[in-house]
Structure 1
Amino acid sequence: MINTGTSHEMEEEQDPATMTTSFSDLDLQLSQETMKQMWEELEKLSPNGSFTTVVDQTTMGRGGPEDEEFVECDKFVIDQHIYAQQVENVVSPNGVNPSTSVGTHTDFPNGIIHMDFPEISHLQPVFTQQEQFQQTRASCALPATDNWPGQYGFSVSFGPQEKPTKSTAWTYSEVKDKLYVNMGTACPVRFHTTHPTQRGTILRCMAVFTKPEYVTEVVKRCLNHSSPGDMTNENHPAPEHLIRCDSPQSHYLIDFNTGRHSVTVPFENPQAGMFYTTYLYKFMCLGSCVGGLNRRPIKIIFTLENEHGLCVGRRSLEVRICACPGRDRRIEEKHFEQQRDHSHKVLGKLLNVQLQRYVMN
């Protein structure tokens, strides 16, 4: 009798309202049907409907105040790119907390919340098709422009050029380390690496203003050339992007944080017997266009990035988009040589003065 009474008292002390989640509740939430539905929804994020690598498993449970659900979605790697970022917060069965939600929601059976992720990257693709999504790291407000070969010995060069006449489509000046190119002309750029890159490596090209007063502004085309009526924008998804790459695998991106435009392509290692990989780039606005470049000098930054969007190599150079690349190159090189000769003369005079003072003393 004493044992029975003690057992009864112990049962009364276990208040269901204060107990943690029971195994039956977890079994209900993590049932085979529920997990199958969640897996099918997550598979919609990938272009081919399959995961490549699961980094962390999704966990679910009940916690916090009564009638609330705890949802936690960890990272998955889909087709060599990270598509989902961790989301964790307490949500109610009737909706998602507005301060913590990252997407829309609908109710699953059994009170489990389904989360959609329409914008799970810091970069917004211009393409609307899901299969053309390319996730990369967000760029800084002031992108680095210093050349850095990185672990793969990344570098850029240009092939043999014709005589730099006025009618040439593009020309590269080694003296100025500057590219002179006509608008809309396909310019071949050679990319070198001393070591083969890993699978999933991408090549990004982005334009920035060089003067400090304009460096934070986004480089884009003028209103005239970016209008839908312009013939260069027919069937093109990124009419405002200054730089285009003639590759069927090109992705045109807009950074959510800075608004900067960039174009990326999967980087291909050189073919057998070759020491470089060539991509064709076009520059779709003149440097003198009002409302666009507006005679402000720009640089283009080529960055080699791994599958997680981390920079592993960088090369930058100045670009002048003009109607007569050959003429402008000769003018600027002549002016540069005159300035260099003047600097040498001034330095020589200073050295002579110092030498005379030293002899007199």
Structure 2
Amino acid sequence: MPIQPIDKNRMHALQQTLLQKAMPPGSLGELAALAIRIALITPRPVSRLSLLIFAGDHGIVEEGVTHSPQEITWQQCLNFAKGGGACGLFARAHGVDLTVVDMGVAHQFLPSDGVLDRKIGMGTRNFLREDAMDAKQCLLAMQCGRLLVRQKKQAGFDAIAFGEMGVGNTSSASAIASALTCLKVDSVTGRGSGLSDCDLKAKCDVIELALKRNPVRTPLGVLAAFGGFEIAAMVGAIIEAAALSLPTLLDGFITTAAAVVSCAIEPNCKEYLIPAHLSGMQGHDLLLDYLGLPRPILDLGMQLGEGTGALTAWPIVSQASRILTEMTSFSHAGVTDSTSLLREKGIF
């Protein structure tokens, strides 16, 4: 299903509706712009958010790009599925549906663990030595992401967000980002879980060597060569969300790297993306600029992943989506139309 571009011809009518609300023009600032952006995607207020946390392990950890032991991936998946972690807390606080999806964790979960089994492999291969995935695995992961979004839409959710869990996935995201944007590796590579200056340089060197080993620069080729199963699932999920006209709350660096791939495949995807926050992770601002997205809703220095930035921004998004349809106008409120008075004086 091709992604339809947003109908920008509706912009003027929405702006006029906003000016009829019982408040001075411009007084809601960026919140009003967000309200219009959401209204261009969907005509109704959004009230039901589903967060899909995709998880997978990465062969690149063999190169010492992180200090975190790989077992943290499956341990955190169990934690999240039980309602733990920041993502579990925030989802519970805001009534958000949270689903943990095993796309390729190097662990065998039990049915009772509460982790959705969509496993494609026991982690990707070491992308310094060989492609992380083959083309079939990559497409299968994307299709899994698309199907899950479709199911959430059918279940009545009207907004979607994605999180990720996977030790080593910042290296995959940085490699993808550099390959597709031509940004320098060190500009889109951060310390992850606390690397020293020396460790960070070694991480950048590994990514540089991997990019030289494999010069492929097509979107799907880059995703298969350097990505993770969870990143590929997000790529498909972002495309499907756009195809279904679902407002998509974009989380941090890794999800934005996935969005770079999605938008390279389907450029109209970016019109359905709502940047939730500016991550503290190196290069996130550069990726948002590359995609030409509006300023993120929040800037709190967060860099946890798990979809926590999207969860934190969700109440603001839901609130903004109600402004155009539920806020009283001057006429309904019986309030003097100050906007018209300003126009008469030539001030507005």
Query: Which band: TM-score by shorter chain?
Result: under 0.3
Q: State TM-score, norm by structure 2.
A: 0.26
Give the structure with the higher percent strand: 1
Give the structure with the higher percent helix: 2
Relative contact order (C-alpha < 8 Å, sep 6+): which is higher? 2
Q: State TM-score, norm by structure 1.
A: 0.26
